[in-house]
Amino acid sequence: MKKLFILILAVTFTACNAPVEQVGAGFFTGAEGEKYVVGSDDITDIWMNYIKAHNERDMDAIMSMETDKISIAGPDGSSIKGKEMHAEALTAWFEAENPMWDIYWALPYEAVGSGSTWIVVGHSMTLTIDGEEVKKNSMIDAEIVDGLVNRFFVYDMMLPPPPPPVE
């Protein structure tokens, strides 16, 4: 009787741990029928290191974290294709506006059907334009392929300057 009880108990617990198929949610018109689920924080770590390299102006590290076919769609409609073009644009931007990023949220996600991995990330940015500090929020939707940043889309929102101090 004791063995039967243990067998029933074991079967009950194993039956409760059956794998659940991830159905996903959402859509993308460019991938009909595709659904998405929360991805791995390994993707978050890749992006965090990528932005850290930007803040440290480590061009070698940045380039090593990108695919050769890196593609970037800027918030103004501009487009960057390839590492060489990206390195040139970043070098000029670093010199002109000294951008600094502070990540305030991130959500890695994965396509259920294709297995593609993405991350959507919110950044607070500080730029120095004509000697004045300018703040903006930037949201980036980035695709990660084989552990490397492959492409991303940037959306910006300028923030108003802080009010003058009350005297």
Question: CA 158 → CA 73, 75, 94, 102, distances in Å?
Answer: 18, 11, 18, 15
Residue 67 structure tokens = 């695919």
What is the structure's pLDDT at 14? 55
Q: Is a pLDDT exceeding 70 seen at residue 19? A: no
Domain boundaries, the chain: 33-158
Distance (Å, whole) CA 153 – CA 78: 10
Note the pLDDT tens digit of each residue in 76-85.
999 999 999 9
At 2, is the pLDDT very low, low, confident or very high (cuts 50, 70, 90)?
low
SS3 label, residue 16? helix
> What pLDDT does 87 receive?
98
| Interval 70-107: pLDDT, tens | 999 999 999 999 999 999 999 999 999 999 999 999 99
CATH 3.50.50.60 fits 33-158, yes or no: no
- Amino acid 8: pLDDT: 57
**Cβ atoms of 62 and 50 closer than 8 Å:** yes
- The encoded tokens of residue 7 equal 């067998």
Return d(Cα 80, Cα 75) in angstroms, integer: 12
Residue of 15 and 164 predicted with greater confidence: 164
